[in-house]
Chains A and B, each alone.
Chain A
Amino acid sequence: MIWLFLILSAISILSALFVIFFKNPVYSILSLILCFFSIAGHFLLLQSEFLAAIQVIVYAGAIMVLFLFIIMLMNLSRTTEPKRPFSFVLISVVTSFLLFGSLVLSLTTLIKPSTFCPFLSQSVIAQSNLPKNPISVLGTMLFNDYLFPFEFSSLLFLAALVGVVVLSKKTKENS
């Protein structure tokens, strides 16, 4: 299981790096799909099958196909992207490394595990006593405790739908 975790995390980190450093946007999208699949594998490893399925269907299926569709429809893979100056790239990389270091430090050492959260003092699989059938419990929670946010998310989708239709219609009139 540890080997599975290590392989999956190597795949996800490498493909996330490829997302950033590929020149062609199509390659970045394909490696982002690979990264999402490996994160779905992590979800499976954490025994949340429902979220793994949703991850594959929604992220790797719907959202990434939307990206790919935009790029292929508008012929964006051939447009050249102007480079940032090297000093800016260097400063950005150093900044994100500093962010990594400070997050790791603040989340592992500064917070005392015993006082604040049991997150760091346990390991994942051994301590888990989640219900045997998490999907039905998840559905019950979604429609009982979280009913209002669920309905509100449908309102959010309606707003996004109307917004997208209005935006694309406006461009059609202009061009």
Chain B
Amino acid sequence: MKAVIPNQWYLLLSIALFCIGVCGVLIRRNALIVLMAIELMLNAVNLLLVVSSRVHSDLSPQVFVFFIMIVAAAEVAVGLALFTMIYRHTGYTDTDTFSELKG
């Protein structure tokens, strides 16, 4: 168990996950998939925070990860409620039709 994983690999992994999330936000038009890509980006940042907690031998980044998860849960609840409301109003899941907030 003494084998060592270099930090750069974790850095590369989390940057790759973040960029996949950015790409998903850009190319998909379904609002649910956009929300899921945002979740993916949050998870990439969480992974990097846990790695930095391990590197600096400090537990406060893990507390930050905890708070990020809390905020993500609240964000998803409100976002999905907004999404269902817009879908019931307009019948579209397309993000390009969400440009008018006026009901």
Contact = CB atoms under 8 A, between A and B. Distances in A.
B15 A153 contact: no
A65 B5 CA distance: 33
A84 B9 CA distance: 33
A76 B30 CA distance: 10
Interface in A127-175: 127-131, 134, 137-138, 141-142, 145-146, 149, 153, 156-157, 159-161, 163-164, 167-168, 170-171, 174-175
Main secondary structure of the interface of B (DSSP, over half): helix
Contact of A20 (B23, B29, B62, B74): B23
Interface residues of B, number: 74
Contacts of A134: 59, 62
Interface of A: 1-2, 5, 9, 12-13, 16-17, 19-20, 25, 28-29, 32, 35-36, 39, 42-43, 45-48, 50-51, 54-55, 58-59, 62-63, 66-67, 70-71, 74, 76, 79, 81-84, 88-89, 92-93, 95-97, 99-100, 103-104, 107-108, 118-120, 122-131, 134, 137-138, 141-142, 145-146, 149, 153, 156-157, 159-161, 163-164, 167-168, 170-171, 174-175
